[in-house]
Amino acid sequence: MNRERLPRWALRAYLLVFFAYLFAPLAIMAAATFNDSRFPTVVPWRAFTLKWFDALAGDAQLWQALATSLLVGAGVVVLALPVGLAAALLLAALAPRARGFVYAVMVSPLLTPGVIIGIATLIFWRERFGLGGGALLTVIAQASFISAYVMLLVQARLERFDPSLEEAALDLGASQAQVLRRITLPFLAPALGAAAFLAFLQSFENYNTTLFVRGLDTTLTIYIASKVRTGVTPAVNALGLILIALTVAGAVLHEWRTRVLARRRQAAEAGG
Amino acid sequence: MSQNVELDHVSHRFDDFVAVRDVALDIRAGEFFSFLGPSGCGKTTLLRLIAGFIEPAAGRIRIGGRDMHGIGPNRRPTAMIFQNLALFPLMSVADNIAFGLEVRGVDRTTRRRRAEALLELIALPGQGDKRVAELSGGQRQRVAIARALAVEPAVLLLDEPLSALDLKLRQHLRAELRALQRRTGVTFVYITHDQGEALAMSDRVGVMNAGVLQQVAAPEVVYADPATPFVASFVGENNRIDGTVRHCADGRALLDTALGPLVGRCPAALAAGSRAALFVRPERLRPDPAGACDNRLELRVRTRSFEGASVQVGAAGADGTPLTLALGNLGELPALAADSALAVGFAAADATVLAP
Amino acid sequence: MRALARRYGWPLAGLIVLLSTFWVVVQVLLPQLLMLDFSLRPNLLPAERGGAQDVYTLANYATLWRNPVHFGIFVKTLLASAAVTLTTFVVCYPVAFHVARLARAGRARRLLLLLVVPFWINEILRTFAWFILLSWSGPLNALLLALGLVDAPVRFLDGNAGVMLGMVYAYLLFMVFPLYHAIESLDPHQVEAARDLGASWWRIHWRIVLPHAKPGIATGCIMVFMLAAGSYAVPALLGSPKSRWFTEIIYNWFFEGGDWHQGAAYAFILLLLCVGFIVLMLRLFRVRLGELAR
């Protein structure tokens, strides 16, 4: 044993406990889906069942909530993607001093509690434009901070962009719109794809902001939370399991793609 | 159709740094013109002014007689080869070459045909479907040239395009560029800090320093008749000997120096008693034990280095003024031991006297 | 704008500025300003608005001071969020250090993926998992009973402990990643040099690793504190009326008390709390806002 370090086994044990802590609750939640009990639990284990998946299928409110979530998510992507892209392009063109200030304002929604974003949006749009809570206001409120994620992702890629490519295209006679469409956007495409995925997921999962601006519309996340608070059944677990499966598949795909792109870039750089 | 480029007293500044100072010059149609200067001398700025990426703070730029003021880079009859080439990494070689045609709305089959023809021209036939990353450095270089030529520019602007390549390839591409320019007849404006490139390829060279155009002339003239001390020492090797003008008449000046009185040509009149510098090339200095030349110097040998085709001799005058001789290897070479005395001479016609 | 126009042309530059302005001004700045304005006005009937009583007042802020229950909850939210932040840091630091410094590249990648996956899962679902785990007839109680550690099931979901446990779990990963990125950028030779000079392991961490990781620590702490103080889901799901969170009071002003002005004042206080924490962290760790790693 080395006096200058913690013993290796202690660290290993800690990691084991940490990852158990990370995954055990999720595993228990997943397992509870298949327990034939009215309340979601794994003890006592009564019998294996798939009936809670059936219960989901017959839940009209759930399907309505899912439709709302998909609609809101799509709306957020449509709004946040161009806004985040524009913001990143604007930042790149600003003088350093102005850039620091504008950047701080742009990332501030990420450092603001979601409930406050929801409240501020609700008050502003109702008072100034008579727009009350609902799916539309939810899109506006969520996009106000999700645009910042998009901006950061685009900005990270834009930093690696060689501006002489734009100049070369311009020099060859392309209009500025053609440069954007043929040179800049294709270069940014991977970041925009990742941003769209992230934006949709953020919107789909959002609870704190949505809570204040949803009006009478219910998103899936809101629906799940309300189910947990009022009469929870393992149907919620079944729904959670499906969502987790989808999310994990999406996350793994996203991570894998990021790696492949990074490797390809390295290979290209090494080749050049 | 090649066109001329007229720089009408062009100046440009970045904040309070003057990058280009009152440059007036007419680059002729169909000429291979090089701007030569150290990095930071303003030559890249000048090229970007001609391309239209920046607008001059003062003065006018005319291409083919047409004022370029307010005309963006995409509407100028110029095409640029970038230092890093700026090939589009997400497009195939053929798409890169045909990009300029694509944005002009040329149809796909015509584009394909033009790209193929240009690939022939740059000796890369049938390589159009490759990715840019698959090409070697020299091949990329040629693709960049083909891409610029595809839009049939009147003026081709080249921003040190060979600087990233190794020596052998560079020398090979020099000859290729020169031949290409001859064949296409397009006006080439080339910028470089490599005097070898500039002298070897150009019809005329413009030497720049600190934003100022120092001299514009054919390579031979720039080398033999430098207009300023900067040109004299920047282009090629040169020996500089400072002194005071005793008199100056009929294009000849007599200078009093620490190495004795020396005579040289003086392109501009110099006042008697003013300071001046005499420049003489290493290869114009020769051993002169008999004192047959116009000028004679008593030196001591410091170093001797054999370079194959020549021998470089480092020597110094009595006051320590360093001088270099290049003696051609014509069979018999004098044995020059270190610290041995060496009498050299040079013709007055081979020396230039310039105001410092 | 000129630089933008030169690069993208006037129509596109205009669009870029328009979209950015819409976001920054209409979506971010103006709503916050109006919320502040709202919080400084009394709650009046529509007929009275703009009348003699419609003046700026700090009355809505005074409410918090005068209401001992609300003030108690505010202080508890502050302290509990700070405790959650500190706990999260302590739990995450060894993991972040291990993945960043000790693990070989392949293993580090796998561990990172394991960390990323739960990060993607819905906060509500992660909290719901703890709801099952901690419930009165849940697995944790069953385990404790089986081990004989308790005689009767514990009501975990009845107090602040359950809420804080859930928060540590829910916001953990917002701490791990900033820490990981900060530690990863440390030159390993620095650690080796310190060890070579005879420093003990805790001194290496205290003098070399932690100072280097300051921006990451600041980012992680700011994120976790902000999320904890602003959390609504975790206290709503894992708490009870006895363990109310400040956000729950804000929600009630809006949707049960019907006094938006009062709610706006409370929301603004929460915002000030978070801004205060950010400033504190930046001062404490001597980091500039721009240095905050993502």
CA distances (Å), origin A158, targets A91, B146, B317, C24, C137: 10, 28, 59, 20, 53
Question: Stretch C116-139: mean pLDDT, rounded?
Answer: 84
Q: Residue B250's domain spans which residues?
A: 237-354
Chain A residues inside the 8 Å CB shell of B63: none
Same domain as C109, residue C24 = no
Looking at residue B146, its pLDDT comes to: 92
- Between C8, C23, C222, which is nearest A111 by CB? C222
- Residues A113, C175: Cα–Cα separation, whole Å: 16
Within chain B, where are the H helices?
43-51, 93-102, 108-121, 137-150, 167-184, 195-201, 219-224, 229-234
pLDDT in tens, A24-50: 888 888 888 888 887 787 777 888 888
Count of beta carbons in the 10 Å neighbourhood of residue C212: 17
Task: Label residue C106 by pLDDT band (50, 70, 90).
Answer: confident
- pLDDT given for residue C49 in this prediction: 78
Burial B241-264 (b: 16+ CB within 10 A, else e): bebebeebeeebbbbebebeebbb
> Closest residue of C to A114, CA-based?
C230
- Residue A2: pLDDT above 60? no
In the numeric block, which tokens belong to residue C19? Answer: 């979209």
Closest residue to A14, CB basis, from C23, C94, C131: C94
**pLDDT value at position A6?**
62
**Model confidence over C79-101: pLDDT tens digits?**
999 999 999 999 999 999 888 87
Question: C254: which chain A residues are within 8 Å (Cβ-Cβ)?
Answer: 119, 122, 212
Same structural domain, C35 and C76: no
Listed in sequence order, the residues at least 6 apart from C289 whose beta carbon sits closer than 8 Å to its beta carbon are A104, C282
Mean pLDDT of C45-57: 79
The separation between CA B250 and the C-alpha centre of its own chain, rounded to angstroms, equals 31
- Does C289 contact A104 at a Cβ distance shorter than 8 Å? yes
Cα distances from C104 to residues C98, C99, C101, C162, in angstroms, run: 10, 8, 8, 36
**C108 lies in the same domain as C215:** yes
Instruction: Report the distance separating Cα A141 and Cα C73, nearest Å.
Output: 27
- B258 and B278 assigned to the same domain: yes
Contact A102, A91 (CB under 8 A): yes
Where residue A268 falls among pLDDT bands split at 50, 70, 90?
low
Q: Are A179 and A164 in contact (CB under 8 A)?
A: no
Last residue of a domain, one of B194, B229, B264: B229
Inter-residue long-range contacts of B330-339, CB under 8 Å, 24+ positions, other chains counted: B334/B287, B336/B301, B336/B304, B336/B311, B337/B301, B338/B301, B338/B302, B338/B303, B338/B304, B339/B300, B339/B301, B339/B302
Query: Which A residues in the span 193-252 are in contact with B, Cβ-Cβ below 8 Å?
Result: none
Average pLDDT, chain B: 90
User: What residues of A are in contact with residue B52 (Cβ under 8 Å)?
Assistant: 171
**CA gyration radius, chain C:** 24
CB pairs under 8 A between A and C: 246
C-beta atoms of A123 and C31 within 8 A: yes
Nearest chain B residue (CA) to A271:
B133
For the stretch B272-317, pLDDT in tens is 899 999 999 999 998 887 878 889 888 999 998 888 888 889 999 8
Closest Cα in chain C to A45? C139
Q: What is the mean pLDDT of residues C155-172?
A: 86
- Within 8 A of A15 by CB-CB distance, chain C residues are 94-95, 98
- Other Cβ atoms less than 10 A from the Cβ of A167: the count is 21
Domain boundaries, chain A: 22-58+233-272, 60-218
Neighbouring-strand partners of residue B344: B287, B297
CA dihedral A174, A180, A183, A184 (to 10 degrees): 150
Distance between A271 CA and the closest CA of chain C, angstroms: 23
CB atoms A205 and C227 under 8 Å: no
Sequence-separated contacts (24+) of A5-8 with Cβ below 8 Å: A5/C201, A6/C201
Which residue of A116, A119, A175 is in closest CB contact with C9?
A: A175
* Shared-domain flag, residues C72 and C22: no
What pLDDT does residue A1 have?
38
Residue with tokens 């397009």: B186
Tally the domains of chain C. 2
Q: How confident is the model at residue A269 (pLDDT cuts 50, 70, 90)?
A: low
Choose among B296, C31, B195: nearest CA to A213: C31
Q: Which of A113-117, B71-75, B264-268 has the highest mean pLDDT?
A: A113-117
Q: In sequence order, what are the beta bridge partners of B341?
A: B300
pLDDT value for A3: 47
Chain A hits for C123, Cβ within 8 Å:
205, 207
Chain C residue nearest residue A142, CA to CA: C27
- From chain B, pick out residues whose CB is under 8 angstroms from the CB of A173: 74-75, 100, 103-104, 151
Average pLDDT, integer, range C109-135:
84
For residue C262, being part of any structural domain is answered with yes
Looking up tokens 């005074």 gives C62
Best of C147, C202, C232, C278 to substitute, by most chain A Cβ atoms within 10 angstroms, is: C232
**How far, CA to CA in Å, does B59 sit from each of B5, B74, B173, B231, C94?**
13, 21, 35, 25, 65
Q: How far apart are alpha carbons A177 and A163 in whole angstroms?
A: 15
Distance between CA atoms of C268 and C280, rounded to whole angstroms?
A: 18
User: What's the rounded mean pLDDT across residues C199-209?
Assistant: 84
Structural domain includes residue C45: no
Same-domain check for residues B196 and B68: yes
- Listed residue (B81, B88, B213, B215) closest to B160, CA to CA: B81
Instruction: Evaluate whether A43 touches C134 at the Cβ level (below 8 Å).
Output: no
In this structure, are residues B24 and B61 in contact, taking their beta carbons and an 8 Å threshold? Answer: no
pLDDT at C182 over 60: yes
Does residue C60 sit within a domain?
A: no
H or E, element range at A106: helix A96-107
Mean pLDDT of A158-173: 91
Domain count for chain B: 2
Q: Is residue C49 part of a domain?
A: no
- pLDDT at position B24, please? 94
Q: Cα–Cα distance between B85 and B101 in angstroms, integer? A: 18
A175 shares contact with chain B (CB less than 8 Å) = yes
Chains that touch B (3 or more CB pairs under 8 A): A
With CB atoms and an 8 Å threshold, state whether B74 touches A183.
no
- DSSP bridge pairs for B189: B33, B157
- Smallest CA–CA distance, residue A186 to chain B, in Å, is 8
Interface confidence, given as ipTM, is 0.88
- Cβ contact A145:A76 at 8 Å: no
**Do C145 and C213 fall into the same domain?**
yes
Answer whether A272 touches B (CB < 8 Å).
Answer: yes
| Alpha carbons B133 and C127: distance in angstroms, whole number | 49
Taking 60 as the threshold, does the pLDDT of residue B249 lie above it? yes
DSSP B28: P
- Residue-level pLDDT at B143: 93
CA A266 – CA C108 distance, rounded (Å): 19
User: Which CATH number goes with the domain that contains C184?
Assistant: 1.10.3720.10
CA angle B156, B159, B162 (to 5 degrees): 105
Write out chain A residues lying below 8 Å of B84, CB-based: 162, 164
Please tell me the distance in Å from B38's CA to the nearest CA on chain A: 22
Best residue in A123, A126, A176 for a mutation probing chain C (most C CBs within 10 Å): A123
Say yes or no: B264 and B322 in one domain: yes
- Which of A73, A105, A55, A92 has the alpha carbon at shortest distance from A235? A55
User: Who among A173, A182, A272 is closest to B74 (CB)?
Assistant: A173
d(C-alpha B193, C-alpha B205), whole Å: 12
Position C291 scores a pLDDT of 67
Query: Is residue C44 in some structural domain?
Result: no
Q: φ and ψ at A4, to 5 degrees?
A: -85, -10
Same domain, C23 and C108: no
User: C70 with C118, same domain?
Assistant: yes
The answer to whether B57 touches B45, Cβ cutoff 8 Å, is no
Whether residue B37 is predicted with pLDDT greater than 60 in this model: the reply is: yes
Interface test with A, best of C2, C6, C16 (most A CBs within 10 A): C16
Residue A181 with chain B: CB contacts under 8 Å: none
State how far the alpha carbon of C291 is from the alpha carbons of A267, C219, C281, C285, in Å.
30, 9, 12, 11
Burial class (CB in 10 A: 0-12, 13-18, 19+), A226: middle
Residues C232 and C93 in one domain: yes
Q: Residues B29, B169: one domain?
A: yes
Q: C259 lies in a domain?
A: yes
Q: Indicate the pairing of strand B78-81 with strand B322-328.
A: unpaired
CATH number of the domain that residue B43 is part of: 3.40.50.300
* pLDDT for residue A233 is more than 90: no
- Domain membership of residue C19 as a residue range: 1-39
Q: Which of C122, C238, C247, C260 to mutate to test the interface with A (most CBs of A within 10 A)?
A: C122
What φ, ψ does residue B13 adopt, rounded to 5°? -135, 150
How far, in Å, CA of B141 to CA of A188, rounded?
25
The domain A60-218 belongs to what CATH superfamily?
MetI-like (1.10.3720.10)
What pLDDT is stored for residue A5 in this prediction? 59
- One domain, residues C101 and C197: yes
pLDDT-derived band at A272 (thresholds 50, 70, 90) equals very low
CA distances from B263 to B242, B293, B346 (A): 12, 11, 9
Which one of B47, B96, B99, B157 makes the best mutation probe of the A interface by having the most chain A beta carbons within 10 Å? B99
> How many other CB atoms are there within 10 angstroms of residue C283's CB atom?
10
Count the neighbouring beta carbons within 10 Å of the beta carbon of residue B71.
Answer: 15
Using DSSP, state whether A129 is helix, strand or coil.
Answer: helix
User: In the prediction, which pLDDT does A270 show?
Assistant: 57
Say if C57 falls within a structural domain: no
> Looking at the structure, do residues B247 and B208 belong to the same domain, yes or no?
no
Q: Are A4 and C34 an interchain contact pair (Cβ–Cβ within 8 Å)?
A: no
Flag whether pLDDT at B14 surpasses 80. yes
pLDDT in tens, A199-221: 999 999 999 999 999 988 999 99
Q: How many CB pairs under 8 A join A and B?
A: 68
Which among B206, B229, B252 is the end of a domain?
Answer: B229
Over range A113-120, report the average pLDDT: 94
Q: What is the pTM of this model?
A: 0.82
Q: Of the residues B177, B210, B229, which one is the last residue of a structural domain?
A: B229
Chain A: residue whose CA lies nearest to C22: A83
Q: What is the pLDDT of residue A114?
A: 93
Residues B147 and B290 in one domain: no
C263 to A119: CB separation less than 8 angstroms, yes or no = yes
Instruction: Check pLDDT > 90 for residue C8.
Output: no
Cβ–Cβ < 8 Å for C189, C163: no
- Nearest C-alpha of chain A: how many angstroms from C156? 15
Please indicate, yes or no, whether residues B224 and B271 belong to a single structural domain of this protein.
no
C-beta separation of A127 from C34 below 8 A:
yes
In terms of CA atoms, which chain C residue is nearest residue A176?
Answer: C8
Q: Is residue C148 located within the same domain as residue C85?
A: yes
How high is the pLDDT of residue C161?
Answer: 84
Mean per-residue pLDDT, B246-252: 89
Do the domain assignments include residue C246? yes
Report, as an integer, the average pLDDT of C278-290. 84
